[in-house]
Chains A and B, each alone.
Chain A
């Protein structure tokens, strides 16, 4: 089969790989019909995530058709159209039995701090991902769900991570009626978080980024106020000014390890890997919210320590909430929101790229060329 393959930092190519096989009785093999590149894939692409091996296929956002199933699979059969959450979950460990499906303890031998994720380095279990023609899907009775007949394929693929994570970010922010919500990052997750904050009853939603085309999307897709941090000498002071010097009630970090805004921090964290990413957005969030506020962290960071301003967070009595999104627990509500038009994830899609051109896809997404917000990957056999 044809598959995207990592060759080293900033280098990928498409190669012929062996078809994935059933390794476990509850596996399914899925023929991928649509995949996406996630902003967090760029951390792998840039060589930021430890134990990212040459030969690995990325991709944790994908939908497809079941090709074959293992002997113990009960809920799926060949030919079923499925959407697959980015989390791999056994459904029965201490965490899964309590619904913490993003924190499964039975699927990642390489680390206990993080669960299993498709195509996201050996630090999350060493599974190949869905930017390929076929993919192995473990625990087929736990993760995948049939794509509803009414659902658009592009909505379905975006529900496997970006949309669920964005909504989850707003939810972890514990948004209450009338809250002022600041979202850092106008990528797909930030845009959905901003839109979702309204569904939870926010009174104001402010999106911060430095890319004008993404801020324009925030005004259009999320109906949010916007702040271009590059236009302000000190964005924290600006955010204080526009929130009556009180600060926001909720901040949502949808940026993570490769934040811009401080040359030194970006180079130290994202380029030289001297810390687990550059926590600029997180530190801005800590400084820009009011005392007693909640900060929700959806941005991904590496496993080595980060220079985060915990002193300020402590002194301000902040609540910091974070986790990988348990996608499947979000789906029933999100399906409703997509069906009744409260969320339209496919409006975020800007590029549809054939699998064979995936290297160009990564480059244009990584370099933010051509107004790129969300690129999809269309496999050859789709």
Chain B
């Protein structure tokens, strides 16, 4: 116990542990462990044959970057370039706020939700609309023991919230659009 100087005895001795667990203690020496010490200066040792990498061309328009960077990194991902309203929000978040500001992250999260909505509309227009049944993979509930797997689990207490988390923003957006449409109609009716 913590009230006396000696550490409490362990249930098994090192010999017993070595006999029970294959490999017990093979990496006992803290100095002989991978990536120890954390920093080993060896600029040629990690595969690079350059001091500064060649720059990747910006083929998809000006690439957004954190204002904490001195310049655009020489290599970057090219997935899903900025577009639409979500792209404008993201560009603003990157151009205006550093990573240290909550505004930066909250704007990016807001843009994610706008992006989802934009793509929902775009997919419908392109003739490949989103299908919440197949895209949520909910079929696995039938094929992989959805009910039996959840029996007695504590996370069931909040899993019922998942559909609300998914559907909530859509319901709110729908209600907003409906309220806006009603207001416009009322105004048009009054004008007549």
Residue of A97, A113, A176 most packed against chain B (CB within 10 A): A97
* In the assembled complex, A359 has its CB within 8 A of some CB on chain B: yes
A-side interface size class: 35 or more
Residues of chain A contacted by B20 (CB below 8 angstroms): 223
Cβ A271 vs Cβ B26 within 8 A: no
User: Does A89 reach chain B (CB closer than 8 Å)?
Assistant: yes
Would you give the 0/1 interface string for B27-42, flagging 1 where the beta carbon is closer than 8 Å to chain A? 1101001111011111
Asked if B145 contacts A326 (CB within 8 A), the reply is no
- A109 B80 Cβ-Cβ under 8 A: no
Of B28, B47, B72, B111, the contact of A142 (CB 8 Å cutoff): B47
CB-CB under 8 A from B28, the residues of chain A are: 177, 200-201
A369 engages B23 (CB within 8 Å): no
What number of residue pairs across chains A and B have CB atoms under 8 A from each other? 325
Q: Are B76 and A210 in contact (CB under 8 A)?
A: no
Chain B, residue nearest A247 (CB): B2
> Are A99 and B166 also in contact (CB < 8 A) when A7-B119, A246-B1 are?
no
Mark each residue of chain B from 4 to 42: 1 if its CB lies under 8 Å from any CB of chain A, else 0: 000110111010010011111111101001111011111
Number of interface residues of B (CB under 8 A): 102
Q: Is the beta-carbon distance between B137 and A51 smaller than 8 angstroms?
A: no
Interface 0/1 of A210-236, CB less than 8 Å to B: 111000000000010000001000000
Binary contact readout B51-78 vs A (1 if CB under 8 angstroms, 0 otherwise): 1111011010001111011001111111
Q: Which 5 A-B pairs have the closest CB atoms?
A: A91-B48, A126-B77, A363-B137, A342-B23, A359-B137
Q: Can you list 24 A-B contacts (CB < 8 A)?
A: A7-B123, A8-B116, A8-B130, A9-B116, A10-B165, A23-B59, A46-B165, A47-B165, A51-B111, A55-B80, A98-B42, A116-B75, A123-B108, A139-B53, A141-B47, A142-B47, A198-B23, A200-B25, A260-B154, A271-B165, A326-B35, A362-B137, A363-B141, A367-B150
